[in-house]
Structure 1
């Protein structure tokens, strides 16, 4: 702790901190349990919920749950009565907001009984999630639950002491037959509500067919689309909050002013008035979800892999390069936008330009290596689906192919300047072995990776035009490096 400043405290807030509250919140009861408490939730859904309670009231306070045996978040927030600061930065402005919506933090492996009691409580009407793609124990090959996942195997044998997301939800829903909570996925995952429903129902089916049938018929799993760039917190962020406010916050959250939340409006037990504070409540999230996955996430991943290879540490530095800026802009305009079906009211080119402006925000310092994590899960919805649509239309996809090739070269764990790094991915060991066994041979590398059905659908992996384009990009990256390849392909 920085002893030069008093700790952020609910009972004795410094005068400056009082001016950073949005109004009188009162003492709302917990109505939402959020699984996967991290910086994104604290900068996104928790902020919307705080503002919704300020606008319209309601008992919608949040209990945040850390699913791993890692108490750092709890230890940071508990001495602050769960308060924290959101540090919103744009190119020329900075704003700090104190958020109070989270009233409790639990560490699931250490407080499982307390968590299960809360999930069973009628006051909890929504269970939301940001657990990343891997938290769903989803098998892309089968389109359902991964029954070989160690956590699933454990939970099916010990259903009363679950550790996986499907196991936790089924255990709680078993006790909520009269008034089941709504299960709200907020992850960057295509059709996230459908995917979550699928794995939960299949897990229940393996235990109790009647329970599974009831969950499928009675429990709501709305889909959502979420968007806000939230870099990892640094000591510089902590120092900035202290300097600006006069208090010390152990874990503030840096973010941008832009935020977006599109929600399928399906909440049998009610919900906060999120629409009062900028969220879009719609009948079908799919068009917005696809636009975000392909336009933002797809180009983000492309920048991440090319950025790591080419020595661009952060997104703003990457997009400041004229050649990479041109590549990303042209990828959006010529290769991604034509694959989207959006309402006529949605200004596609304005959305493109807004994304480019967001990438250029130097205040966020969003690291390309951070975005590069979990590529085996991110590649299919972010890039491969777009490529498949372009092939079906008989259209070009060279920039998209460069993004996939950059991911393959990224697995060799060496930048163009010969710096080494480690990869973070649920398939890291297998991917690393395949990359090492290729000996840097592009054909061997491509063929071994295209054989991974968890990532590449058979139809795409066997497509001759895809293989030809991809191999050409791999050879270009190997011989010319990322920066020169960007310049040529842009």
Structure 2
């Protein structure tokens, strides 16, 4: 079917007016370079930025940069004049929208000098990032830059030919001393601006102490909280978009209708009028980011690990299970919400109910295996903080501990039905080796994984109450399976 349709590009815009905002968009110059061009950015910040330009003008076109050596998205968007479709859904149906804010796409490993030159363009006032937790080269054990990371080792020796995200930022900032851009982290990471600032400063100081001092005093790193569930693109996504629009889009983006962006308002060189697109500009992002990381992401990870083991392929299928729904509702209400310090107008239980409704969206098909990736990085901010606080206060947190036990079982790479799978994690080789070495012995599995200092703080892993509860859950998961563990949870 798609081969008979015209390809999405600028020539098709006149016939796609019903899928565009009514206001015309001028041809904006590039004012933002975004590192980590993926589905989330295209369904989130790119739309906010387009709507801000439609409402208030400004040259805030985006140059999207893929940080991995994967040119497929660049190739797909180049053939479409960098246009693409966002397919949003809720329980009532689907809506399509063509997005025009991305003006250029680069692949960093193949276009290194062009990426740095674009970042050094004085018209660029913001460099934003969605590179996931592992893109920061952050060492959880030291709370700073991982100086042993091979990209960091390379970049300190060859600062003009960077491979790492900190390396790219510093390479460009070295040339932007008169008007440094603002560095805006949009990753799903607690204190994201603070962490990014720390790793950049440590890298720059190791390279040139004077440069580090200048960045510390002159470059701003506002924090953000971002929220929108954005699954991977599938052939079904492409077919739905084609049926709705009458054109073929090689790389549309599926996403839920809900979206949220909370931004620390700290942009010396200016910013798009994101508030006119619905973003919240605040003095302190932390209460919002912690609520999202624990309430949404913590329960997402819980559904992911238990869901993969139990055979639930998507979040909507998982939350439709009465026992899973009861567990997630309990965790949000009794374990997570009490740990949050939020503004007076933030209703924790209303947020819980909103999340449960979002999870049940039958049109998203957000795969549990996708959410289960990079668990070594996600577990500490999403679940272990809740466990640490609750146990220290002598309070129960059985749901979060069951989730951690499910993650340990997940590393054995076999569902309860015996189906094999592979895991995606920066520590995959080490973690799976530890899991395999346990040879099915739950006590050995727990001891080995609790000993991974990059994930489990020593004070937490040493707690006998934690060990007892994880051990009990591992026995239940291994003997009875995830569905029975869910049924027995009280």
1:86 aligns to what?
86
1:397 aligns with 2:397: yes
Q: How far does the alpha carbon of each residue in 1:248-267 deviate from its partner, in whole angstroms, 9 at most, with x for none?
A: 10100000110010001000
CA distance in 2 between partners of 1:222 and 1:131 (Å): 16
CA distance in 2 between partners of 1:339 and 1:255 (Å): 29
Structure 1 stretches of at least 4 aligned residues deviating more than 3 Å after TM superposition: none
1:294 aligns to what?
294
1:485 aligns to what?
485
**1:464 positional shift:** 1.3
Map 1:340-379 → 2, pairs under 5 A? 340-379=340-379
| 1:14/1:247 contact within 8 Å kept | no
**1:472 positional shift:** 1.1
CA distance in 1 between partners of 2:13 and 2:138 (Å): 44
CA distance in 2 between partners of 1:119 and 1:165 (Å): 12
Q: How far does the alpha carbon of each residue in 1:158-215 deviate from its partner, in whole angstroms, 9 at most, with x for none?
A: 1010010000000100111111100000001110001100100000011100000111
- Using structure 2 for the length normalisation, give the TM-score: 0.99
1:44 aligns with 2:44: yes
Per mean C-alpha deviation after superposition, the further-off stretch among 196-205 and 109-118 is 109-118
CA distance in 1 between partners of 2:18 and 2:411 (Å): 48
**1:113 positional shift:** 1.2
1:64 aligns with 2:43: no
1:175 aligns with 2:172: no
1:26 aligns with 2:23: no
2:154 aligns to what?
154
**1:104 positional shift:** 0.2
Structure 2: gaps (5+ residues) = none
CA distance in 2 between partners of 1:440 and 1:180 (Å): 54
| 2:93/2:363 contact within 8 Å kept | no
CA distance in 1 between partners of 2:104 and 2:305 (Å): 37
Q: How far does the alpha carbon of each residue in 1:89-109 deviate from its partner, in whole angstroms, 9 at most, with x for none?
A: 111221111100000000111
1:451 aligns to what?
451
CA distance in 2 between partners of 1:302 and 1:114 (Å): 41
1:201 aligns with 2:174: no
| Paired residue secondary structure (1:225) | strand
Q: How far does the alpha carbon of each residue in 1:274-303 deviate from its partner, in whole angstroms, 9 at most, with x for none?
A: 011110110000000000000000000000
**1:14 positional shift:** 5.3
2:333 aligns to what?
333
CA distance in 1 between partners of 2:474 and 2:383 (Å): 16
| 1:14/1:246 contact within 8 Å kept | no
Map 1:225-304 → 2, pairs under 5 A? 225-304=225-304
CA distance in 2 between partners of 1:70 and 1:254 (Å): 20
CA distance in 1 between partners of 2:176 and 2:32 (Å): 15
Q: How far does the alpha carbon of each residue in 1:129-153 deviate from its partner, in whole angstroms, 9 at most, with x for none?
A: 0000000000000000000101001
CA distance in 2 between partners of 1:162 and 1:9 (Å): 33
2:464 aligns to what?
464
CA distance in 1 between partners of 2:250 and 2:2 (Å): 9
CA distance in 2 between partners of 1:292 and 1:433 (Å): 32
CA distance in 1 between partners of 2:101 and 2:13 (Å): 16
CA distance in 1 between partners of 2:250 and 2:412 (Å): 36
How many aligned residue pairs are there? 489
Q: How far does the alpha carbon of each residue in 1:383-434 deviate from its partner, in whole angstroms, 9 at most, with x for none?
A: 0001001012110011110000000000000111111100100000000100
**1:366 positional shift:** 0.3
| 1:181/1:269 contact within 8 Å kept | yes
CA distance in 2 between partners of 1:218 and 1:489 (Å): 52
| 1:9/1:79 contact within 8 Å kept | yes
- Using structure 1 for the length normalisation, give the TM-score: 0.99
